[in-house]
Structure 1
């Protein structure tokens, strides 16, 4: 019912700023200096979402949530448990539902939405360290796998011919 009404309203008033939201900058960025920087950035949209934008975000979110089981590639999810912009429960759901056999969930107690820019410096160090460690692990595993694959391909190309006796 609500979705149907939203879809109809979007046909008539798509650009109206009707979505009731909190100040996203205040909610996403813990570091007050980053908030000042974001507010001063002329390219950063600071208004409330337009009706059509909110409706599209809702539709995409609902579709993605239905398809979490299709995620098969390796991934890491990092989420602040004090995030009030996006629900950490969705990150947990992705981790639990994805069919990937190589998945990592990092939840950070007390951290906010913007984990890689906007958190306090000591928190940024922890988050980036976890991400870099995860990437290093993937590179190490990938290099070992690549070496085995290249060796096998090379061995398959080598044809041993008996040397004729003279």
Structure 2
């Protein structure tokens, strides 16, 4: 039986979840990587999990440290490497528990950034990556804030700060947004250390785009103001791997998993996964 938690390299208990299709064995295994302030069983991932398990994919996800039901100071990480190590530990767990069948990473927003960064460093055993509105563009962050955040990270790394997220720009589906953001585990604040580490990871991941060596699908809403599409477009252009695809959706906001056109997004993702089995 797949465990309900695992232990990080620095001793934190991180909660994890699995959903398997009725068929045995599944066609493939998919690890979902959630975004900032989110958790692995929030509304967007429940929607996607229900869809993919219906099409015979097994789904695995976990709550980041400091997120959801996992241990750790809320919205904090000592370093980006800790976040990467957590994903590596989880990938290793999934591979040990399910040795047969292709394995894909699917990440949304900050989870998309993490999935891309991880795949650059640890591609072995992965069949491909789907990055949904990956957090690759920091141009919307004012220069003064980009200067202040690293200073605060050193002085008050665990302080609570408000990144100014406009919840109305998450999705055009107002009902879904209301349900999503009313989740008691949903968090809208962050900490200077996490913010500083994310900014560094954005820069490093973008700078190393040319070394990306796995089949890649990027999905992005054209009206996304939370993570601007220009970032994923630039990353995509720098990837030299021939097996790459980027789909954009006119009018769509940031979280495509709860957008009005989510069924089309799900179908596009499924068809890409099926082509890479």
What's the TM-score, normalizing by structure 1? 0.72
| Partner SS state of residue 248, structure 2 | strand
Retained in 2: the 8 A contact 1:69–1:99? yes
* Residue 119 of structure 1 pairs with residue 262 of structure 2: no
**Where does structure 1 lack aligned partners over 5 or more consecutive residues?**
140-166
Give per-residue Cα distances to partners, 1:61-114, cap 9 Å, x unaligned.
111111111111111100001001111111111221112110001011111111
Distance 1:113 1:4 in 2: 26
SS in 2 for 1:45: coil
Match of 1:163 in 2: none
Rate the CA distance shift 1:128–1:20 in 2: closer, same or farther, 3 A: closer
Q: List aligned pairs for 1:80-119, cutoff 5 A.
A: 80-116=221-257, 118-119=258-259
Q: Which residue of 2 is the match for residue 51 of structure 1?
A: 192
Give 1:74's match in structure 2, choosing from 200, 206, 215: 215
Contact preservation (8 Å) 1:84, 1:112: yes
Is the aligned partner of 1:39 residue 2:174?
A: no
> RMSD value over aligned CA atoms?
2.0
The structural deviation recorded for 1:16 is 2.7
**How many residues matched?**
134
Query: Is 1:7 paired with 2:150?
Result: yes
Query: Would you say 1:132 and 2:264 are equivalent positions?
Result: no
**Mapped partners of 1:36, 1:83: distance in 2:** 18
Displacement, 1:5?
A: 4.7
**How high is the TM-score relative to the length of structure 2?**
0.45
Q: CA deviation at 1:17?
A: 3.3
The structure in which a higher percent of residues are helix is 1
SS in 1 for 2:268: helix
CA distance in 2, matches of 1:74, 1:83: 24
1:154 aligns with none
1:29 paired residue number: 171
**Unaligned ranges ≥5, structure 2:** 1-142
Q: Matches of 1:83 and 1:4 in 2, distance apart?
A: 25
Aligned partners of 1:75 and 1:102 also within 8 Å: yes
Deviation string 1:99-142 (CA, Å, 9 cap, x unpaired) is: 211000101111111112x211xx11211121122122222xxx
**If you compute each CA radius of gyration, which structure gives the higher value, 1 or 2?**
1
Q: Which moved more, 1:10-19 or 1:55-64?
A: 10-19
Q: After TM superposition, which residue ranges in structure 1, 4 or more long, deviate above 3 angstroms?
A: 1-6, 17-20
CA contact 1:19–1:51 (8 Å) conserved in 2:
no
More strand by share: 2
Matches of 2:251 and 2:147, distance apart in 1:
37
